[in-house]
Structure 1
Amino acid sequence: MTGNQGPAHKRSMTRRKVVVAGGAAVAVASVGGGVAVTAFAGETGKGSTASATAAETCYKLTSETTEGPYYIDADKIRKDITEDKEGIPLTLALKVIDSETCKPIKNAAVDIWHCDALGIYSGYESLSTGGGGAPTDAPSGTPTDAPTDLPSGTPTGEPPSGAPSGGTGGGGHEEPTDDERYLRGTWKTDRSGHVTFKTIFPGWYRGRCVHIHVKVHVDGEWTDAGYEGGHTCHTGQFFFSEEAVLASATVAPYSTSTTERTTLTEDTIYDQSGTTGGLLKLKYDKKHIAKGVQASLTLGVDPDATHDGTDDAVQPGASASAA
């Protein structure tokens, strides 16, 4: 990182506007009131008592990735994005910090979006690929730390339209094909940089491991109509451990999927750098994952940078961490 980034370094503002359906007012009260600071990855202490290790950790930038083809500029100001989708309950607790100063970033707009339990994206149901019916290769038995039934080798067949192919990281944006908006939403970080979403554990589709997309927008304005202006300082993805994915695959409707699954190590987007690369910290009952999963992560971002995920994303195998 350079230390001379001033106003001149700031990129031109990209105009963004979020319209709240039905004219509902934006919920701008603090969120995540029940989230403990120590629940976030990369933190080993609180406030001024944080250790040197924690200080070093927070200087790491979270990896930038491609936006992917299925982003829709935020139009749902909400922290519960589940709608009526069936799946394992997932609570996603995030903290957004300035990677240079380690201070929390308040009033940021955080977008997340992901596919449903069978690999379908809202807004793109006709382009997404998923699978139902009796699974032919679903994992069986109780997951272990070193599962022996993981898919191996390079997945065969064509990936879904717009999905990553050939290790390029998934290029161009697709225009929405329908009006559905489930499993998408935007919420505001509180004064401590916290934001929490309620959703479901994502499923998988051909060519990608299980993941959630995220964008962080700063310097905009929250109004009764939504979020306006500002710029995107981070575009990334969150990933799940193989153990958790194997456990989810034993629960309906995930267990009905016949879609070939790409593992975490086979994925062309995840850079294998752990929490820096977006690997979530997970808590769940290993014998009863259907009861729900708690996921958490700290995002180290550069609020003065622009990362919209269209041309400057980290490519597979690269690391975005910096001191």
Structure 2
Amino acid sequence: MTDTQTPEERRELARRTVLAAGGVVVTAVGVGGAFVAGAQASEQENACYTLTSELVEGPYYIDADKIRQDVTEDQEGIPLHLRLKVIDAETCRPVRNAAVDIWHCNATGVYSGYEEMGSGGGGGGPTGPPPSGTPTGTPTGSPPPGGGGGHQEPTDDERYLRGTWRTDRHGYVGFRTVFPGWYQGRCVHIHVKVHVDGTWTDAGYEGGHTCHTGQLFFDEKSVLASAAVEPYASNTTTRTTLDEDTIYPGNGHAGGLLYLEYDHRHIARGVHAHLTLGVAPDETNDG
């Protein structure tokens, strides 16, 4: 700013500076402290119009109506604080009063409701004598667990590491759980669904439709760190890495890769995870 500027010019420059500082992260570079806000503003705008990848529901979903933020129950593991923000990917506005479901396996790869299936769903695999003769016809039934899989009927009444909570007026929802383990054929992940246009009642969430079905993923560094901590260290199932996983779309945060914060020397103290989910509220994506 120079002494030759008119009062109007000075006010306009000040207004632009406030808008830049309030709308984007402004970085000062060089001796003169030049702003590089333009590119960051563009990236932020484009992010608003990025839909989070729709992925398969998997075989272990249960509509349990467990309306709670703390889904841990008695499960051991590294504390995980998960915070999600749900926005309309077209308008960037928060999606309020949505019902968000999460569910995942425990530290040793077992899902509640499916304990008989063990880690990876298959336990030790088929037992007994091998079949004889030549197969005929078309295979029936659900695909084996571990991949996309069709829905499996629950085998028990356990419901740990499952829960539903509502988004606030800013689109945020939070859960307390434990860092998931791994099981046969899959990398470490959490399943998520977003339901809209329903009604919250004393009994839970009723009606509406599912606008998003996805999965949340963890980077390899965090998984390797968790694997050195009990009870994860006792999980003898061969681990599938993020790059080897057949469901992770490989597109970073738009594909569900979480932002993680933790003490890299002491991950056992806890992990904070967050992500923004860009959804299409008018569409149905039930996985």
TM (norm. structure 2) is: 0.78
Contact 1:127 1:161 in 2 (8 A): no
Q: Which has the larger radius of gyration?
A: 2
Q: What amino acid maps onto 2:117 in structure 1?
A: L
Aligned to 1:95: 85
Instruction: Write the letter of the residue equivalent to 1:291.
Output: R
Alpha-carbon separation, structure 2, partners of 1:58 and 1:179: 40
CA contact (8 A) 1:128 1:161 kept: no
Secondary structure in 2 matching 1:51 = helix
Secondary structure of 2:92's match? coil
Q: Separation in 2 of the partners of 1:269 and 1:308?
A: 16
Q: Deviations over 1:221-240 (max 9, x none)?
A: 00111100000000000000
- d(CA) in 2 for partners of 1:241, 1:81: 22
2: CA distance between counterparts of 1:220 and 1:163? 31
**Runs of 5+ unmatched residues, structure 1:** 1-42, 132-159, 165-169, 310-323
Amino acid at match of 1:202: P
1:247 equivalent in alignment to 2:230: no
C-alpha contact 1:118 1:130 (8 A) present in aligned 2 = no
Superposition deviation, residue 255 in structure 1: 0.5
Which residue of the other structure, out of 182, 188, 192, is the alignment partner of 2:166? 188
Structure 2 counterparts to residues 138-157 of structure 1, below 5 A? none
Do structure 1's residue 109 and structure 2's residue 106 form an aligned pair?
A: no
Describe the SS at the equivalent of 2:116: coil
4+ residue segments displaced more than 6 Å:
none
Q: Note if contact 2:72-2:160 (Cα within 8 Å) is conserved in structure 1.
A: yes
Aligned residues: 231
Q: Give the whole-Å Cα distance in 2 for the aligned partners of 1:255 and 1:44.
A: 42
Q: What residue is the counterpart of 2:54 in the other structure?
A: 64
% same residue: 70
Q: Any idea what the Cα deviations from partners look like across 1:106-151, whole Å, max 9, x if unmatched? A: 00000000000000000001123269xxxxxxxxxxxxxxxxxxxx
Q: Does 1:294 align with 2:277?
A: no
Q: Once the 2 structures are TM-superposed, how far is the Cα of residue 44 of structure 1 from its aligned partner?
A: 5.6
Structure 1 residues 149-190: Cα deviation after superposition (integer angstroms, max 9, x where no partner): xxxxxxxxxxx94221xxxxx121001110000000000000
Could you tell me which residue of structure 2 aligns to residue 218 of structure 1? 196
**Unpaired runs of at least 5, structure 2:** 1-22, 26-39, 122-142
Query: Are 1:118 and 2:108 counterparts?
Result: yes
CA gap 1:178/1:44 in 2 versus in 1, 3 angstroms: farther
- The aligned counterpart of 2:263 is 285
1:303 aligns with 2:286: no
**Worse-matched range after superposition: 68-77 or 94-103:** 68-77
The aligned counterpart of 1:230 is 208
Residue 155 (structure 2) aligns with: 177
